Amino acid sequence: MSPASRQRYFWEGCAVLLIIATIGVAAQGSCRMDDGGPGECIELLQCQQHVSVITAIRSGRAPTSEYARLRRLVCAIRAGNVLLLCCPAESLLPSDCGLTAQPDRIVGGEDAYVGGWPWIAMLYGSPTPSSDKLFFCGGSLITSRYVLTAAHCIYRGDVSTIDLVRLGEHTVSRDIDCENNDFGQQRCAPHPQDIRPESAVLHPNYDRPGCLRCNDIALIRLSANARLNEFVRPVCLPINPVQQMGFAASEFIGKFGWAAGWGSVGRSLFDTRQPDVLQQVQLQVLSCSSPGVLCALGPGKDTCRGDSGGPFVLSDSRGLRFFLVGVTSSGNVVCATEGVSTRYTAVHEHIPWITQTLRP
């Protein structure tokens, strides 16, 4: 019998043996891995980790006993003996993330390179039901289907206030963005992608009584997958900073990261000038007394109104990938006030909620 035939009969046998045990189990939803960690009940072929295990078994790089573990992770069976397995929630996050062409109202910032921050998103719509439509907040693409933003950017959690999420934008007034590289060759980005949001989930403890702007973080599920390319690409999340980035979350303090956005470039509350070109600014992470928050500051530099929800990223110790460590949340009334830092929702402290909320 060929290996493919043995594999087919193995899974069909699993379906027969386990169908009684799985009667009444939801066809899709949350589940628990064998180590107790959060998972998502999805089709086998949608879980890259399980597919990799099967590939390793077939090639002799993993013992056949791994089949028994996969069998224990069966969480439902669909018609036609289609098995659904519990897949680690973080495996829904892409491994090809945080890469940028960036050479080594944002106040005191500078124009970003085309494609420099390929995960940045713009939210277009009405910040409140009575306001005009405009690009009013930022966000970060973390999978081809999800954008992470600030909870306060979604009015009362109603995603209908957001008409579209734009990806791959750089210069708002231009349809096609081009620039010359260091060798004088022109490099152009494709048209930006405008995708309607399907749903939004605010952190359940956002703005709880006595803690204004706590857990200021939300997930927007897009109505269609983003088309990934050099100019539209997810950012990495710090699931395990030591392993992924080469240093612990406690060591973020003192490091320099980057924020980006199209927010106001004026310091005054009444100066609402917004840039046409995506701005970037380098800020230093400071010690912050508030739980679940990162603080960052630069001399005469800051994020400002309109930058809310946008990314604050740190690179790993090798300078190869960028990780989303903060979601722009709040700052001083007068942007870039000397000695006053901006608050960013600490992404690493919200990883469990993020991974448990994601769906395929």
Q: Which residues are catalytic?
A: 152, 216, 308
Task: Report d(CA 348, CA 55) in Å as an integer.
Answer: 31
Residues 6+ apart with CB under 8 A from 248: 241, 242
- 338: exposed, middle or buried (Cβ count in 10 Å: 0-12, 13-18, 19+): exposed
Question: 311: alpha, beta or left, given left = phi > 0 and alpha = psi -120 to 50?
Answer: beta
Cβ–Cβ < 8 Å for 146, 222: yes
Reduce the DSSP state of residue 226 to 3 states and report it: coil
C-alpha to C-alpha distance for 238 and 222, rounded to whole angstroms? 22
Distance CA 134, CA 5 (A): 57
Strand partners, 165: 123, 195
Q: How far apart are CA 111 and CA 109, in angstroms?
A: 7
Q: Which residues contact 222 (CB under 8 A, 6 or more apart)?
A: 145, 146, 147, 165, 195, 196, 197, 198
